[in-house]
Structure 1
Amino acid sequence: MPLTDTAVRGAKPADKPQKLFDGNGLFLYVAPSGTKSWRLKYRFQGREKLLTLGTYPQLSLKEAREACAAAKKQLGGGIDPSVQKKVIARAWENTFEAIAREWHENKKSAWTERYAGDMLERIASNIFPYLGNRPINEITPPELLSVLRKIEARGAFYQANRLRESCSLVFRYAIATGRAERDTAADLRGALKSHVTTSRAAITEPEEVGGLLRAIDGYTGHFVTKCGLQLLALTFLRPGEVRLGEWSEIDLDEKLWRIPAKRMKMRLDHLVPLSAQACAVLEELRELTGRGRLMFPGLRAKERPISDATFIAALRRMGFEKDEMCAHGFRSMASTILNEQGYPADAIEKQLAHNPRNKIRGIYNRAEYLPERRKMMQDWADYLEKLRNS
């Protein structure tokens, strides 16, 4: 008798594998582990063969019968369905989507979970619908450009350029694994509209810097926010690196802030020399938040940090407009002034945690320029103190 949905759903595993036949060679294989799979027994050129159609419940009884009928049709045309399945699988392995997913799987361990998810989502939603099923070695520059133009048409020029770069990485991976001969995306350099970047607003004139520091000293909002602004000025750190800080990262005896790679933009551990002034701010802050894990906990939920808008809101509250100063502007302020004062560019870049020119060297020498940076950071703090008091 043919199987029913109820019989398939209710099939229980036993000590030995079970076969529940439906007809036309189709049967449900129930493994001792409980896994259920649809299989087709057939003969081709006088030999008995077996084809796995899929697993239940992913493949329903109705769908399994349809797959069985399709296989029988192939047999009627002199085609071995097992061989055809392998041909289709090999063809899929060479498509842009299959290779992109494989590339992503190999790379994602080096990324944060959020970045990895965003990367795949961008490619899946913008590229796969148009080129996902195409053999990667057959995709031409005009084809890829046509897809990227659709993104440009939305005004998303930055995203279009980023996706071209991501596609280039996929093509290069395909070349390395023997499934493509050239990087099609590389041929599109200069073909897309440029994304016009605007510099982050920053105060760099010494007199105005002094006014900013005095405004922070007189800030009447939350004390934790005030300390955060002071540390932004003293450390060159990104706002997110400050507000997500944990007390376990701070060593006041050694005057160091050790930030783990997982919290850094470049995914490298970062050592931040602390000036005497920075240590004084941290000592005050520790009296208020030192019993918890976070240095900058939120007002309502102590296990969650202050929001990413906190520092910006504080600057606006003090009267600094968005085209005048932003939270990231403290980095530009320090970089501009210290470069003008003749401090070593490499030490400044290292303190800013920018990607090192020699990445391998950067990975194995996290303390690079530490003596120079210790001196520079104390000089910087003394300079800010002088401006504030002038």
Structure 2
Amino acid sequence: MLTDKQLRAMKAGPSDYTISDSKGSRGDGALYVKVKTTGVKEFYHVRFVNQKKRRKKLGNWPALSLADARQLCNAASEQDLSGASLSVLLDSYVAKLKEEGAASHDDVKWSFKKYVTEPHPEVAKLPASLVEPGHIRDILSKMIQAGVTTFTNRVRARLHAAFQHGLNQENNPREYLKDAVQFGLKHNPVTGVPVQKDWERSGERALSVKELGVLWNLLPEELSLVTSELIKFLIATGGQRPTQLLSSDRSMYHKDHVLIRDAKGKVGERTVHTVPLNALALGCLERLSMITAENKYPFSGKDLTESIHTNSLSRAVSKLYSRHKSDFAGPFTLRDIRRTCKTLMGVAGISKEIRDRIQGHAFSDVSSKHYDRYDYFKEKQAALNAWAAWLVGEAKVIS
């Protein structure tokens, strides 16, 4: 080990050189002194990760004493042994979702940035293994103070899933060491933070035929063209899931149908959901083609290389209601539009089985899950054409 006397005696040479204070335990790293040609003496914590040298500057001597430099070096070693940061864990989880084809990966990435890493940079930099329930509580509490309700539970669920991903990576015998990044997790800190159950009540709101007509005819003047046509398209196609639809780029749109990746099942069960296009849906795409024909996504947002974000769409629906409360029987959200379509397609005479298939619901019976590979395209196409005719004709939703 170096002494203060040796440190003082070190002289500048024709080039920079380094001297180790001690080698330390394998994998812990060590304290090094770098003597520059100017005579400046710098302390570094050095360790090898995946056969690559990682250096962290601790300070300059004599402003930082040798004793204090050793303490900082020990602290740096402890932090390294704690594993990668929370930010790295969240990025790893988002990458996993993207690799699996989950339509929600962009939304998850956005929510982590919006509510975790940007407002809480000090927590994001912590080793994931040092994140405690109190940190999670503070993240969610700040959301609640800002007026966020149900989505607070969504962020909690996503954080819980991210930590489970990290635990699985290190404890599953088939996953361990598959990735060079390790987190050193022993438990999931989100588990001890309760869900706000009063914000998880099942929705029951469905718009009446009259209300759906009011909504449809308010859209062109109240919202942007892309947002208006997107909401109309969702209605025309029987209430598709916005997140999944918006993940379909132009290559998935065809002459008479659009392909939507169904990401609601478990890994290995995800399938492509085929949605036939009726006259109303084709009309939406034709009107949009005037401004988005060259874009990767038909329903593109401010960034022309990306789809409009579902959160922007949700806010637009809520704002539309707030400006026209007297025209509706009560509040409604983007999610209620899907329920409305499911309900009113029944009024239009479409069977529950075909309504379920139009909306991409999973069928869990053995026959459907393992044996039935029929695509039901003709049945869905006939039903959606009947749905469009009902909206225009008998229900007079579209004026």
Query: Alignment length, in residue pairs?
Result: 331
Question: Aligned to 2:191, what secondary structure does the other structure show?
Answer: helix
Distance change >3 Å, CA 220–CA 165, structure 1 → 2:
closer
Deviation at 1:334, TM superposition (A): 1.0
Any unmatched runs of 5+ in structure 2? 1-6, 33-43, 47-53, 99-104, 172-183
Distance change >3 Å, CA 277–CA 284, structure 1 → 2:
same
Matches within 5 A, 1:1-390: 39-42=18-21, 51-52=31-32, 53=44, 59=57, 63=60, 69-70=66-67, 84=74, 87-93=77-83, 98=84, 100-109=86-95, 110-111=97-98, 112=105, 115-119=108-112, 122-124=115-117, 125=119, 129=123, 132=126, 136=130, 147=138, 150-151=141-142, 154=145, 156-158=148-150, 161-176=153-168, 177-178=170-171, 179-189=184-194, 192=196, 194-195=198-199, 199=203, 202-204=206-208, 206=209, 209=212, 215=217, 230-235=232-237, 236-237=239-240, 249-252=252-255, 255-258=256-259, 270-279=273-282, 282-283=285-286, 286=289, 288-289=290-291, 292-293=294-295, 295=298, 308=313, 320-321=327-328, 323=330, 329-339=336-346, 341=349, 343-345=351-353, 347-349=354-356, 351-352=358-359, 369-389=376-396
TM-score w.r.t. length of structure 2: 0.55
Deviation at 1:273, TM superposition (A): 0.9
Question: Aligned to 1:251, what secondary structure does the other structure show?
Answer: coil
- Work out the CA distance in 1 between the residues paired with 2:89 and 2:111: 15
- 8 Å contact 1:244–1:296 — kept in the other structure? no
Give the percent of matched residue pairs that are identical in Structure 1 and Structure 2.
Answer: 14
Distance change >3 Å, CA 164–CA 196, structure 1 → 2:
closer
Task: Give the alignment's Cα RMSD to 1 decimal.
Answer: 5.9
Any unmatched runs of 5+ in structure 1? 1-21, 31-35, 75-80
- Work out the CA distance in 2 between the residues paired with 1:184 and 1:310: 35
Q: What does the per-residue CA deviation read over 1:245-294, in whole Å, with 9 as the maximum and x for residues that have no partner?
A: 87655322xx11235799xxx998653211244335545665x4586437
- 8 Å contact 2:115–2:143 — kept in the other structure? no
Distance change >3 Å, CA 301–CA 388, structure 1 → 2:
farther
- 8 Å contact 1:238–1:331 — kept in the other structure? yes
Q: What does the per-residue CA deviation read over 1:177-221, in whole Å, with 9 as the maximum and x for residues that have no partner?
A: 25455545335556x5632668596523x45556666x4799799
- Work out the CA distance in 2 between the residues paired with 1:381 and 1:217: 17
The structure with more radius of gyration: 1
| 1:275 aligned partner, one-letter code | N
- Work out the CA distance in 2 between the residues paired with 1:280 and 1:388: 19
